């Protein structure tokens, strides 16, 4: 989900809403196998309320009488890809709604598909439909494969952790080398270390799964790198100029950000990366912070990793962290460093220039 925001004159971030006027407004409560359509006109007269199978032909037949001047909107959920692509193929304006901002749907006393579709079309007509970013077809598939790679890596880490935990359960000697590397696993004598047949089979199963995952992760990474060199090789090279940012982090920045022009100001970008806190205030009273889940979780993770890797073999970066630690403490210092790296990435993409460590430290 990709939110689009704008800044108020006072500098605070706010949600951007769809304001364009049309003859007809179609709200879709979309599911994997069905969808509920509600079409109303500019005078707020409901013209269609119908439950349909989630099929392209059924959708096109239902909206056929209202195609002239129609806009379509649906909530951002996992099945929106085909609707966005279908509307693009038939030159129908499509708006993707930010799920976390659609409080009119989630906050009602009663909730069903018919009511949800009605509220979506009403929000479209009233200019209160919160916009999420419609990631373009062609790059969207590569981005999703990159996210799938992260899932595979975490599964591999799960199997490695199970081997280490099992070793600790029986109070066996600590592994001398890291098991994430294939060479170290090849040197592991499972039969000698784990005497019980059931435990031995469990460990051997883990090792086989790790080997298979290694093969698949390598194939996915090779595919992603080849696509990135075709999609935007110059941007990929600029991102890799940041100390500590390797192939995978550069790919995440490239495909998760996609178009830096979506963010008119750097404040909006770091907010999208979940690197700022949003305060909750009313009548001059502070009620803490909110909105921690609004933004891109993958960029939040990537910049947190980049902050740690930035310090490796980088004495100047370590001096910067030491200064931040003296003032803010270790945990907050790393967060500030991640924030600074996000700002640096923003200007790298905006200005199309490589990373400049001297300028980064001076800022």
Could you tell me if 13 and 274 are in contact, meaning their C-beta atoms sit under 8 angstroms apart?
no
Could you tell me if 27 and 73 are in contact, meaning their C-beta atoms sit under 8 angstroms apart?
yes
Contacts of 359 (CB under 8 A, 6+ apart): none
Element (H, E) at 287: strand 285-290
pTM of the entire structure?
0.89
Element (H, E) at 14: strand 13-15
> Per DSSP, what are the bridge partners of residue 278?
290
Whose CA is closest to 92, among 61, 69, 121? 69
Domain boundaries, the chain: 5-132, 140-231, 238-362
User: Largest Cα–Cα distance of the chain, in whole Å?
Assistant: 79
Q: What is the DSSP letter of 96?
A: E
Q: What is the DSSP letter of 283?
A: T
**What is the CATH superfamily name and number for domain 5-132?**
Ribonuclease H-like superfamily/Ribonuclease H (3.30.420.10)
Could you tell me if 155 and 213 are in contact, meaning their C-beta atoms sit under 8 angstroms apart?
yes
Give the three-state DSSP class for 290: strand
Q: How far apart are CA 202 and CA 153, in angstroms?
A: 20
Question: Phi, psi (5° rounding) for residue 301?
Answer: -65, -45
> Per DSSP, what are the bridge partners of residue 75?
97
**pLDDT tens sequence for the chain (363 residues):** 444 444 443 333 457 899 999 999 999 999 999 999 999 999 999 999 999 999 999 999 999 999 999 999 999 988 999 999 999 999 999 999 998 888 877 777 888 999 999 999 999 999 999 999 999 999 999 999 999 999 999 999 999 999 999 999 999 999 988 999 999 998 889 999 999 999 999 999 999 999 999 999 999 999 999 999 999 999 999 999 999 999 999 999 999 999 999 999 999 999 999 998 888 888 888 888 877 888 999 999 999 999 999 999 999 999 999 999 999 998 899 999 999 999 999 999 999 999 999 999 987
And the tokens for 116?
């949800």
Could you tell me if 159 and 123 are in contact, meaning their C-beta atoms sit under 8 angstroms apart?
no
DSSP code per residue over 202-248: HHHHHHHHHHHHHHHHHHHHHHHHHHHHHH-HHHHHHHTTSTT--HH
Q: How far apart are CA 248 and CA 236, in angstroms?
A: 10
């Amino acid at each position: 989900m990709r939110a689009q925001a704008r800044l108020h004159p006072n500098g605070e971030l706010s949600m951007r809403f769809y304001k364009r006027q049309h003859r007809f407004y179609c709200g879709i409560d979309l599911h994997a196998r069905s969808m509920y359509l509600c079409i109303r006109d500019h005078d707020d007269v409901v013209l269609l309320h119908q439950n349909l199978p989630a099929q392209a032909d059924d959708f096109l037949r239902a909206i056929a009488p209202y195609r002239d001047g129609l806009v379509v909107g649906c909530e951002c959920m996992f099945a929106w890809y085909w609707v966005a692509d279908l509307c693009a193929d038939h030159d129908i304006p499509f708006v993707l709604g930010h799920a976390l901002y659609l409080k009119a749907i989630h906050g009602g006393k009663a909730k069903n598909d018919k009511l949800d579709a009605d509220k979506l079309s009403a929000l479209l007509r009233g200019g209160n439909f919160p916009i999420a970013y419609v990631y373009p077809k062609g790059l969207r598939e590569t981005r999703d494969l990159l996210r799938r790679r992260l899932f595979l890596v975490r599964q591999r880490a799960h199997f490695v952790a199970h081997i280490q935990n099992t070793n600790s359960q029986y109070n066996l000697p600590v592994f001398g080398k890291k098991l994430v590397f294939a060479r170290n696993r090849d040197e592991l004598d499972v039969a000698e270390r784990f005497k019980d047949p059931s435990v031995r089979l469990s460990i051997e199963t883990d090792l086989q799964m790790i080997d298979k995952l290694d093969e698949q992760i390598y194939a996915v990474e090779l595919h992603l790198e080849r696509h990135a060199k075709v999609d935007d090789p110059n941007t990929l090279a600029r991102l890799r100029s940041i100390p500590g940012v390797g192939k995978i982090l550069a790919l995440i920045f490239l495909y998760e950000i996609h178009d830096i022009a979506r963010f008119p100001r750097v404040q909006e970008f770091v907010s999208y990366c979940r690197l700022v806190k949003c305060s909750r205030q009313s009548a001059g009273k502070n009620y803490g912070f909110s909105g921690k889940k609004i933004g891109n979780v993958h960029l939040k993770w990537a910049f947190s990793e980049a902050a740690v890797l930035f310090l490796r073999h980088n004495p100047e970066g370590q001096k910067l962290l030491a200064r931040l630690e003296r003032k803010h403490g270790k945990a907050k210092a790393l967060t500030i460093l991640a924030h600074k790296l996000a700002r640096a990435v923003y200007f790298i993409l905006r200005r199309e220039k490589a990373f400049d460590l001297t300028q980064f430290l001076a800022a």
